[in-house]
Amino acid sequence: MVDRLSPLDVSFLYLEEPTTPMHVGGVVLFEAPEGGFDHDKLVQLIRERIGLVPRYRQKVRWVPGHIANPVWVDDEEFDVGYHVRRSALPRPGTETQLRDLVGRVMSRPLDRSRPLWEMYLVEGLSGGRFAILTKTHHAMVDGVGAIDIGQVILDVTPEPHRSAAQRWTPRPEPSDVDLVAGAVSEVLRSPGAAIDAVRGGAVDVRETIERIGRRAAGVASAVLTIARPPSANPLNAPIGEARRFAMASMRLDDFKAIRKVHGGTINDVVLAIVSGALREWMMTRGESVSSRSAVRALVPVSVRAGEESTGNHIAAFLVDLPVGEPQAVVRLHRISYEMEQLKSTGQMVGAQALVGIAGFAPPTLHAAAARTANDWSRRMFNLVVTNVPGPQFPLYAAGALMLGAYPVVPLAKGQAVSIGLTSYNGGVFFGLNADRDAMTDVDVLAECLRSALAELLDTVPASRRRARAEPVVSPQVEVAGRPSRRRPASRGATSPADVAAPPESAPEPPAVRPKQVSSAASRGLVARPRGGPSRAAE
């Protein structure tokens, strides 16, 4: 039986245009082990473990006439050397050079005639470091239980887990006639599948109607949010094919300290920092920022019902970030309150029904719908902010210590920047993917993220900050008894160079900020949220 792409997976292929490649990626920094790390080691590691992700040896075959969704087929000419590539920076490589390389690599679309992924070993970084850049199409990694190729090369100990490479024999690729016959026979042989789909869709619709009756206010609020377009700002602009990339690294303990003092979730603190950074960045551009200014973000959030719930329960909320609010704590409490309201009012009602309906659409209509949604994205939200928690212990690739991981989130049409972040081993790592022409100052936005964190930390009592552990580097570990070469963080924020190498530039000047209130709720500026579902985002 053929392995056919789901409607959701194929939508990422339909969405793809020259200016909006639909690949996700990551920039992972490593400290080279004593024995060194080179391209041959990486290729051997991939050969040993690619059997854990068989999708990475498959390519997409389209059905003639687009009478059915495309299928995954084994690539009979699969060559790991084509996908695992080598690059180098002029020594000693700087963070600026690395970011420029990432922008250029991410600007290029993947080769659709081969498995939809690439990996680059970037050598020559200062401080005995190297980077691994991954690039994988959204169609391959989307969905519950999906595994990226970058995950399988990592171990929890410096000594890698050895497994012999298994012999792989690709299945013969079907012909065009076989693909057409298979698509027709699926319908003829399995008419019950269509009936089950209709029945499942009917159940979803019935449940949706019941929920609408119970939560009419929440649905009305969601409709009003979508109907009210976001305010115009420089985050929305025509975009081209070229990209820029920026990075910022921070300490997870600082986020926890802010949450402990002011409440909310870690995700609320993240959004408050993004709000403050966008406010400061817009001011550096001379943009008009009033008390009513807001930036609408599409924010995927975990909405798991309880500890016993399994799988990924993700809702994508539209959140108006209060960039017009000058007080950092008030921004945080406004975001916490809005997130609680969004979760409790059930604005994602009917999501499963919509997915079921999408599955009935012929592929050609599905493509048109996907493109229409992409065209409308700028009218619904200004940018995407993704927050993915990672393991809080060190990881290794063939003995090389992983220092940090910066995500690369694809851009939607008309959106100049996307912000992704992940936490790992005590650090929080932001990756900013931006259009090269529309966001020439994306590095300024990255610096504003650090400033916004420091602004919130200024509202945390000194006694609370002293109660935490002594300042540590994010991430800080000792490898085989050797002390880390990285210097401690200051003011609760570090630059990528601070995390992984000796400083390459002068320290940043102190920021001038308005006087902060200790607690917005205690002063009656905004009510603390009460009730609502469990905060799984923590």
Whether the predicted pLDDT of 440 surpasses 60: yes
State how beta strands 417-424 and 383-389 pair: parallel
pLDDT tens across 10-32, in order?
888 988 899 999 999 999 999 99
Separation of alpha carbons 230 and 414, rounded Å: 13
Domains 3-170 and 205-389+413-473 alike in fold: yes
Lowest mean pLDDT among 142-146, 154-158, 299-303, 382-386: 142-146
pLDDT, position 399: 94
Task: Compute CA 242 distance to the chain's CA centroid, rounded to the nearest angstrom.
Answer: 19
pLDDT band, very low/low/confident/very high, at 145 (cuts 50, 70, 90): very low
Q: Furthest-apart CA pair in the chain: how many Å?
A: 73
Whole-prediction pTM value? 0.78
CA 286, CA 279: separation in Å to the nearest integer? 11
Helix/strand/coil for 513 = coil
What tokens were used for 492?
């609760």
pLDDT at 220 over 60: no
Contacts of 344 (CB under 8 A, 6+ apart): 218, 531, 532, 533
Tokens 């220092």 -> residue? 403
342 Cβ contact list (under 8 Å, min separation 6): 317, 319
The percent of residues above 70 in pLDDT, for the chain, comes to: 67
Round to whole Å and give the CA distance between 479 and 483.
7
Q: Mean pLDDT throughout 261-275?
A: 95
* Mean pLDDT, rounded, for 120-149: 83
Does 23 participate in catalysis according to the annotation?
Answer: no
| 109-129 mean pLDDT | 95
* Statement: residue 197 has pLDDT above 50: no
HEC-encoded secondary structure of 170-216? CCCCCCHHHHHHHHHHHHHHCHHHHHHHHHHHHHHHHHHHHHHHHCH
The residue type of 122 is V
Q: What average pLDDT does range 48-77 have in this prediction?
A: 92
Q: Which of 141-150, 338-347, 463-472 has the lowest mean pLDDT?
A: 463-472
User: pLDDT value at position 381?
Assistant: 86
Computed from CA positions of residues 307, 313, 314, 315, in that sequence, does the dihedral angle turn out positive or negative? Answer: negative
Q: Determine whether domain 3-170 maps to CATH 3.30.559.10.
A: yes
- Is pLDDT above 90 for 183? no
Q: At what angle do helices 266-284 and 252-262 cross, to 10 degrees?
A: 100
The pLDDT of residue 370 is 57
CA distance linking residue 109 with residue 105, whole number of Å: 9
Q: Residues 94, 96, 97, 98: what is their CA dihedral angle, to the nearest 10 degrees?
A: 90
pLDDT at 244 over 90: yes
Q: 392-406, 430-444, 478-492: which has the minimum mean pLDDT? A: 478-492
Q: How high is the pLDDT of residue 211?
A: 45
Q: What is the mean pLDDT of residues 68-77?
A: 93
Residues 437-444 have a mean pLDDT of: 96
Whether the link from the prior residue into 475 is cis, omega within 30° of 0, is yes
Question: Which of 56-60, 303-307, 493-497 holds the top average pLDDT?
Answer: 56-60
Half-sphere exposure of 133 (CA within 13 A, CB side): 21
Q: State residue 467's pLDDT score.
A: 47
What pLDDT does residue 491 have?
A: 37
- State which amino acid sits at residue 322: P
**What pLDDT, on a 0 to 100 scale, did the predictor assign at position 366?**
52
Strands 117-125 and 84-93: parallel
pLDDT in the model for residue 365: 55
Q: Report residue 350's pLDDT band, with 50, 70 and 90 as the boundaries.
A: very low
| CA 82 from centroid of its chain's CA atoms | 26
Which pLDDT score is estimated for 111? 96
Instruction: Flag whether pLDDT at 154 surpasses 80.
Output: yes
Query: Which structure tokens are listed for 329?
Result: 């704590």
Q: What is the mean pLDDT of residues 172-186?
A: 86
CB 430 within 8 A of CB 449: yes
Q: Name the CATH topology of 205-389+413-473.
A: Chloramphenicol Acetyltransferase (3.30.559)
Q: How far apart are CA 411 and CA 245, in angstroms?
A: 12
What are the angstrom distances between the C-alpha of 241 and each of 18, 30, 87, 451?
6, 29, 21, 30
Percentage, residues of the chain above pLDDT 90: 48
**Average pLDDT, whole number, for the chain?**
76
> Strand, helix or coil at 533?
coil
CB neighbour class for 437 (10 Å; exposed up to 12, middle 13-18, buried from 19): middle
Nearest residue to 387 (alpha-carbon basis) of 421, 417, 430 = 421
Pairwise pLDDT comparison (345 vs 11), residue with the higher score: 11
Calculate the alpha carbon distances from 308 to 304, 343, 378, 479, 538 in Å: 9, 19, 37, 37, 16
Q: What does the pLDDT read at residue 233? A: 83
pLDDT of residue 136: 92
Q: Model confidence at 532, in pLDDT bands (50, 70, 90)? A: very low
> Quick check: helix, strand or coil at residue 422?
strand
Catalytic residue among 23, 83, 137, 138: 138
**How is 104-129 classified by DSSP, letter by letter?**
HHHHSPP-TTS-SEEEEEEEEEGGGE
365: phi then psi, degrees, rounded to nearest 5: -70, -35
Across 127-131, 352-356, 476-480, 491-495, the highest mean pLDDT is recorded for: 127-131
Map out the domains of the chain as residue ranges.
3-170, 205-389+413-473
Amino acid at 214: R
Whether omega before 300 lies within 30 degrees of 0, making that bond cis, reads: no
pLDDT exceeds 50 at position 449? yes
Per-residue pLDDT for 356 more than 70?
Answer: no
161 or 192: which leads in pLDDT: 161
Three state DSSP letters for 36-91: CCCHHHHHHHHHHHHHHCHHHHEEEECCHHHCCCCEEEECCCCCHHHHEEEEEEEE
Higher pLDDT, 178 or 230: 178
